[in-house]
Structure 1
C-alpha cells in the first residue's frame, strides 16, 4: 500500500492483504459502493470471486479503515480513493460490481428488494444515477437530472456529492450541465440562492432546449429581475437580461409543450414587466397573467392559480383604471378562498393584507378589520 494512506489505516490494510488471499480484489469491489450493508458487501464479494466472503467481512469489520454509521458502513475516504483507482486495473470486474449495485438499486425502486438490506443511497435514487454513470455516462447524467427535478432534498444533496466525485474522477465530463443543474437546484432548495444562481447561470448559457435549461433560465431571470427591483426603472442591463432570459425560458417551455413551466414563466415575466415597465408593457403583462391563470386552472394547479390571482389583483390595484378595484377585490377573494382550502396560512396572510388595501379604499373600517385578521393569522403561523 502506498504512503498516501498514513498511520494505522495503512497498517490494517497491509495486514489484511498479507494474510487473506485476494484481499485487494475484494476490497476494490467493496470500494465501488458509496456505503454498504453486510448484505450488499457479500453480493459484491461473491461477484468478485472472493473466497469465504463471510469470514472476510468479519475480519475487516475490526479494522479501522471501516467506518460504521448506524446499520451502514463504508471504507474510509483515503482507502476508498486508493481502491477505486485499483478497481480500474481489474478488467471487467469494475463493470461487474457496478452492474450488481445498479441492479440492486433498480430492484429496490421496483419493490423486488427489501430496503432494510440496502444503504440509503441505493434505496433512494442517488445510487442508480451513480452506478449507471460508470456503465453509460449519458444515461447516468439523465438520471441525475431526474433527481434534481423530482427527488427529495436528501437525495438531491447526496446525488450532487456523488456527481461531483465522478466529475473529479473523470467518469462524467466536468462540462456536463446536468451536474451544474443538479447542484444549482439543490442549492436553491436549501436557500443558498447566490450559489444556486452561479451553477444555474452555467446551465442557462447552453444552447440546448431542454427543460433543465428552461428551468435554469427561468430561475436566473427571476433572480436578476428581483435584484433590480426598485432600481433603474426598467433601464438597467440586468433587467433587460432578465427579460431576455424569461422570454427564452417561455419559448423553451412552449416548444417542449410543458404547460406548467409555461404558466409559471408567464407569471414571472408578467410580474417583471409590471415592476419595471408598467406603462409600456402593461397590456402584455395582463395578457400573460390571464393565460397563466387559465393554464394553471386547466391542469388543476390550485396553488399556482391562487398566486397568479394575487399578482393580478395587485397589478389592478396599482393601475386603478375604471372598474379595476372591483375586479381586484373579486380576484383576491377567489385567491383567499383557494388559500383557505389548501390551508396555506402564509398565502392567506399575504392576500388579506392586499385585500385590506383594496377594500379600504371604499370602506376603511372593513379594511382595518381585514388587516387585523391578517395579523392574527400571522401570529398563528408563527406558533406553528
Structure 2
C-alpha cells in the first residue's frame, strides 16, 4: 500500500503533492475539515468538494463511522513527502488547533473529528503549529490520565512527530508515554528500556519522578538496593516538581520494600503512615485505604502480638473505605488479611472463618478465580489446623487445587499437595 501511495504521488503535479501532504496531517478527517485544508493548497479547475469526493473513493481512504481517515501506511507516506512548505503545514495544524479551542462538543464525530477533543489531539496540533512547549505539557498530562486509548493515541502521534523531526528521539515526555502505555498493558519488560532511558537523562520533571517510581518497583525483586535508591529519588523529585500524589505513592512503595527487613520496621512504618496522611490530605481515600492494608500486612506478624489491635483497626477502616469507593476487589483483599489476623486468636475461630468465607464470596462476585484459589487455600489451612474441621478443610483444598490446575499453576498445586501430605 505504501508503494502504491508513492507511485500515486510521483504521478501527481507538485500542487497535488502539497495537498495530500496537508490532508495527511489530521489523524482523522471529516468533509468539513478536509475542505478547510483543501483551501490551503487548491488545485486549478477542481473544486474542493469534487476533489474530496473523488479522493474518498480511492483505496487510500477508510471510513470511520461519520469520519474518515487515510490508511496508516498511506498517511505515513504522504506525511514523509515534505511537499508542503513549513508555513503551510503550520497553518494546517493551526486550523486543527482552532477546532480544539472553539468547536462545540456536539460537533464531535460529525463536523469535527473526535480525536480533536483529547489531550493527545491537542498536543499533536500544538507541536505541529510550533507550540512545542505547550505540546509537551499536554503529552505529559495524557500520560498521567487513567489508562485509556488516549495514551495509545498520544504515543503514536508523539512518535510520528519524532520521526518528522519535531521532537528529538530522546524526548522524555514521548519516551514516558511509550513506557506507561506498555506498563499498563502488562508489557513491563518492554516498558523497562524506555524507563531506563528516561532515568539516565536525569532531568527534573514529572515524567522523571514517575519513571523513577515505576522502575524502582520493577527492579525490587532482582536488585532491592537499586530499587530503594530509585524510589527515594522518585520521592524527592516528586516533591521538587510539586507532585504530592507521587510523593505518597513513592512512600508507599518504599515502605513496603524496606519493611521486608524486620530491622527497619520502624522506618517502613513511618513512611507508610506518612503516605496515609498524604492520601487523606489530598482526598484520595482509595490510596489511603490501600496503604493501610499494606501497613497492616507488615504489622500482622506472630512475633508482634502487641500490634494486633492496631492491625485490626487499620484493616477495618480500609475495608469500610474501599467499599465506599466501590473497590470490592480491594475490600476482599483486606478482608482476607483481616481473617488471617483474627485467626491468630484461638478464641475467635468462628469470626475468623466468617471473614475467610466473606473474602471468598467477594472473589466469586468479582469473578476473580486467582484470588479465590489463594483464599480457599487459606481457609483450608485454617479449618484443618485451627478449627479442626478436616472434612470441610479438605473440600476447600480440593476446590483450590482444581482452580490452580485450570490456570496451570504448577507451583501452587505442589504447595497444596505438600500441605496435604502433612495432614494425611
Alignment match of 2:231 (pick from 246, 251, 261): 246
Give 1:307 deviation, angstroms.
0.8
Tell me what 1:376 maps to. 361
For 2:407, the equivalent position in structure 1 comes to none
1:126-137 equivalence runs, <5 A: 126-134=120-128, 135-137=130-132
Aligned to 2:108, which of 103, 108, 115? 115
| Alignment equivalent of 2:350, drawn from 358, 365, 376 | 365
Alignment of 1:83 onto 2:78: yes
Per mean C-alpha deviation after superposition, the further-off stretch among 252-261 and 183-192 is 252-261
Number of residues of Structure 1 aligned to a counterpart in Structure 2: 363
What aligned pairs does 1:1-384 form with structure 2 within 5 A after superposition? 5-6=3-4, 17=12, 22-50=15-43, 52-90=47-85, 92-108=87-103, 111=104, 114-116=107-109, 117-134=111-128, 135-150=130-145, 153-225=148-220, 227-228=221-222, 238-275=223-260, 277-279=261-263, 281-318=264-301, 320-321=303-304, 323-362=306-345, 363-382=348-367
- Residue pair 2:35, 2:48 contacting (<8 A) in 1 also: yes
Q: Which runs of 5+ in 1 are unaligned?
A: 229-237
Cα distance per residue 1:188-230 (max 9 Å; x no partner): 22122222222222212222221111111001101211x34xx
- Confirm or deny: 8 A CA contact 2:118 2:150 kept in the other structure: yes
| Cα pair distance change 1:105/1:88, threshold 3 Å | farther
Change (3 A) 1:250 1:26: same
Distance 1:69 1:4 in 2: 20
* Contact 1:260–1:296 under 8 Å retained in 2: yes
Instruction: Tell which deviates more after alignment, 183-192 or 238-247.
Output: 183-192
Q: Structure 2: which 5+ runs fail to align? A: 370-424
1: distance between equivalents of 2:105 and 2:304? 63
Paired residue secondary structure (1:180): helix
Is 160-169 or 212-221 further displaced after alignment? Answer: 160-169
Q: Does the 8 Å contact 1:145/1:178 carry over to 2?
A: yes
Distance across 2 between alignment mates of 1:313 and 1:41: 59
- Determine the C-alpha separation between the residues in 2 that align with 1:28 and 1:310: 55
Bigger Cα displacement from structure 2, 343-352 vs 68-77: 68-77
1:327-362 residue CA offsets vs partner (Å, 9 max, x unmatched): 111111111111222221111211111111111112
Residue-by-residue CA offset, 1:162-207 (whole Å, 9 max, x unaligned)? 1112212222100111111011111122122222222222212222
CA separation of 1:65 and 1:84: change in aligned 2, threshold 3 A: same
- Report the secondary structure of 1:382's partner residue: coil
Specify the alignment match of 1:233 in structure 2.
none
Q: State TM-score, norm by structure 1.
A: 0.87
- Give the C-alpha shift of residue 4 in structure 1: 6.8
What is the deviation of 1:157? Answer: 0.3
Please state how far the C-alpha of 1:11 moved relative to its aligned partner. 6.8
Alpha-carbon spacing, 1:154–1:91, altered in 2? closer, same or farther (3 Å): closer
SS at match of 1:5: helix
For residue 74 of structure 1, give the secondary structure of its aligned residue in structure 2.
strand
Residues 142 and 218 of structure 1: CA distance in aligned 2, closer, same or farther (over 3 Å): same
Question: How far, CA to CA, are the matches of 1:78 and 1:356 in structure 2?
Answer: 56
Q: For the residues of structure 2 that align with 1:155 and 1:141, how far apart are their CA atoms?
A: 15
1:232 alignment partner in structure 2 = none
Is the 2:6–2:77 Cα contact (8 Å) retained in structure 1? no
CA contact (8 A) 1:107 1:113 kept: no
TM score, norm. by length of structure 2:
0.79
| Cα separation, 2, equivalents of 1:83 and 1:12 | 10
Taking a change above 3 Å as real, the CA distance of residues 152 and 53 of structure 1, as seen in their structure-2 partners, is: farther
Higher RCO structure, 1 or 2 (CA under 8 Å, sep 6+)? 1
